[in-house]
Structure 1
Amino acid sequence: MKFVPTAIGYLRSDVSGIRQEWDETQIRSLASRLGYNLTKTVAFSAKTDDPVAQLVALARKMNADAVIAPGLTHFGGAIPRELDRITAVITVGPDTV
């Protein structure tokens, strides 16, 4: 039996704006190309209380091998250390400002 690593998609709906559907498609596509089983995609907003802590808790609960996000802006510009300590963090592409 072949091991298939699992991934969680992550984005901030306030960062994606009208591109949210496209960002979700990009996450799914990259997960597939890299050989991950994308088990869930979470979309938090600016109103979400401590989104990084919630994402870390979810990654631990699901034992995710990776978190895939559209870009670093969805993390506030840098990969959170607490997330990087427990799983791989992959971005679809470089952020453009």
Structure 2
Amino acid sequence: MVSLPKVLGYLRRDIAGIRQQAIEPLMRSAAGDFGYSYTKTMAVSDPFASERALIALVANSGVPAVIVPSLKHFEGGRPPEALMRLADVLVMEPRARFTRIEAGSL
């Protein structure tokens, strides 16, 4: 049996609101559609520290991808460049995949 690469779920509570509990199973399902095995969700409350914490977690865990409900969960509506250097970013709505940036490609 071939194991799928792992993906970390990420969402901001201030954006997900009361829908958080409904969003998490949808992220798990979407991860499978993208060809990944869902590991866990990083749900954060502080929008200012959250992206730094996400980048640190991805760097330390080595997961090859992060999945988000929408780009609204990132400041400025786009994945941080530092995250893009570490992992692919998968977006549920609208469905999109941002491929990891290789060093020296910018």
TM-score under structure 2 normalisation?
Answer: 0.80
- What CA distance in whole angstroms lies between the structure 2 residues aligned with 1:39 and 1:3? 13
8 Å contact 2:12–2:47 — kept in the other structure? Answer: no
Aligned mates of 1:3, 1:25 — CA distance in 2: 20
Work out whether 1:7 is the aligned partner of 2:7.
Answer: yes
Residue of structure 1 in register with 2:66 after alignment: 67
1: distance between equivalents of 2:48 and 2:79? Answer: 18
CA distance in 2, matches of 1:40, 1:60: 15
Q: Distance in 2 between matches of 1:26 and 1:17?
A: 15
State how far apart, in whole Å, the 2-side matches of 1:64 and 1:79 are: 16
Report the RMSD for the aligned CA atoms in angstroms: 1.8
Residues 5-84 of structure 1: matches in 2 within 5 Å? Answer: 5-45=5-45, 47=46, 50-76=49-75, 77-84=77-84
Amino acid in the other structure paired with 1:41? T
Q: Which runs of 5+ in 2 are unaligned?
A: 95-106
Q: Identity of counterpart residues, as a percentage?
A: 41
Deviation at 1:35, TM superposition (A): 2.3
Instruction: Compare relative contact order (CA 8 Å, sep 6+) and give the higher one, 1 or 2.
Output: 1
Query: After TM superposition, where is structure 1 displaced by more than 6 Å over at least 4 residues in a row?
Result: none
